[in-house]
Amino acid sequence: MASILHVISPCCCPNSVPKVLPVEELKPERPTKKASSTSSIVNNNKDRLLNYVPVYVMLPLGVVSSDNEVIDGEGLRQQLRKLRAAGVDGVMTDVWWGIVESKGPKQYNWKGYRSLFQILHECDLKVQAIMSFHQCGGNVGDEVYIPIPPWVLEIGGSNPDIFYTDRSGNRNKEYLSLGVDNRPLFHSRTAVQMYRDFMSSFKENMAEFIAKGVIIDIEVGLGPAGELRYPSYPQSLGWVFPGIGEFQCYDKYLREEFNEAATAEGYPEWELPNNAGTYNDTPESTQFFKSNGTFQSNKGKFFLTWYSNKLLKHGDQILDEANQVFVGCKLNLAIKVSGIHWWYREENHAAELTAGYYNLKTRDGYRPISRMLSRHHAVLNFTCLEMRDFKQSEQAKSAPEELVQQVLSGGWREGLKVAGENALSRYDAAAYNQMLLNARPNGMDKNSEPKLRMFGVTYLRLSNELFAKKNFKIFKKFVKKMHAKQDYRPDPSDYNRPLVPLNRSGPEIPIEVLLEATKPMEPFVWDQETDIPV
């Protein structure tokens, strides 16, 4: 294996290199005229459909109760019918591991979710199903508590190192440490085997909904909140915005793996960071993140590369299992990446680094994730689409707009389908217009499909507040504008997004090739504002 610290050399296996779209093929010319004029709107319906972006709505976290029952089925039906009448394409919902497999290993009970999907089918709504291997509760917006299966927690009672651990020894029970991905600690199964078995049972029990085109997306949960990241900023442990968070690699399994990696590098004396501060520190108050701090030393670079590479490998392995389960099905695989926008303007990007995104001005921490996804034909789902820089606290050094542009541009450059969602519930025109801008960064194309167009947008989330008269009126405008002023289209082929059988994952991409994507590239040019505001 190549040294983490050594300069990466070109891969000697050209067949393993994913197809990366040349910049000149994707990068649109900067518009010479502000695109807000009504003269820019497409008149030909067929051409306009190629600008269509489907809209999904996230269902409540507890739509299926801990007792495995749909909560208030009739009330839900009424709300879903309103969504359908508003032109919404479908919904996204968590499928909680802690509900389905709560009674014991491989004792799956899909009753509540079969009932839910039947209701959604009757309401003519498509489904994006999240394989939620994490706990609900402890994160922003969590209103219900659904732990991971009790029998898994029981194993953690005698072996707490199955959980992510911070430097002080606090255990986070939201999601199993990636250090146990391949350790048979769960009644002779590894964590990855448990995830695969769950997905296999889902496929078997939901086959009719997949065959009918009701379930069209499987978003594979890869960490806390279902996101590919470490649980570096848990509210349950006292984190508050804009704290830098803490590294989460101090369980015995990840400690062992780091020691092995450091020894192989020739530095057996290197240890995990002990100077990176605590959850609510600022970067400059720590030795690790301050200017000319540890993060810029060889030791710091080695650790950050190892930490982020572990996350890449974790996502790659579980996606490969998911692909094997669903190959041949007419659906998309997807993962979610978190929009950690605070401290983005600082040279250290501290909050991103503790979460596992080794992203600096001189190093792209997201495009390697996109390159990894490319071999699995997976969709990249990113958050915080609604946020504007000037709305953020100056103290937090946030830059959500730049972050979104960086991540989406990297995904498109790697040839991915890119989707997104808002991070916080919003009901105002400013938020909707920002989401419209990010969905089509250069507006609608008069003659063909835009070079930059999101694969889909998910609105967070279904609630009584959304259906308040004023709120729902503007939401319906938002859906219509996402649809390029066209009516709802049940067949994605109409807007050049045909649902095709999932192909088998390509060959594993060597880590050296994934890390070639860390080379920074300028993001594509975004318009100043959307051309069809609500």
Please state the residue numbers annotated as binding site for substrate: 94, 134, 142, 336, 341, 383, 422-423, 461
The torsion defined by the Cα of 489, 495, 500 and 502, in degrees rounded to 10, comes to: -110
Quick check: is 386 catalytic?
no
Work out the number of other CB atoms within 10 angstroms of the CB of residue 425.
Answer: 15
Token pair belonging to 387: 């946020």
DSSP state of 395: G
CA pair distance 177, 133, nearest whole angstrom = 12
Decide: 443 and 33 in contact? Cβ < 8 Å. Answer: no
- What's the alpha-carbon Rg for the chain, to the nearest Å? 22
CA pair distance 50, 449, nearest whole angstrom = 5
CA pair distance 225, 445, nearest whole angstrom = 35
Task: Sort 9 into a burial class: Cβ within 10 Å, 0-12 / 13-18 / 19+.
Answer: exposed
- Helix 429-439 / helix 469-482 crossing angle, nearest 10 deg: 10
Decide: 415 and 407 in contact? Cβ < 8 Å. Answer: no
Binding site, residues? Answer: 94, 134, 142, 336, 341, 383, 422-423, 461
Catalytic residue among 219, 352, 414, 421: 421
- The helix (H) or strand (E) run that includes residue 176 is strand 171-176
CA pair distance 164, 184, nearest whole angstrom = 17
Catalytic residue among 227, 346, 414, 516: 227
3-class secondary structure, 368 = helix
Backbone angles phi, psi at 270, to 5 degrees: -70, 140
CA pair distance 85, 404, nearest whole angstrom = 31
Quick check: is 265 catalytic?
no
Token pair belonging to 199: 């997905």
Task: Sort 75 into a burial class: Cβ within 10 Å, 0-12 / 13-18 / 19+.
Answer: exposed
Indicate the pairing of strand 90-96 with strand 163-165: unpaired
Residues carrying an active site annotation:
227, 421
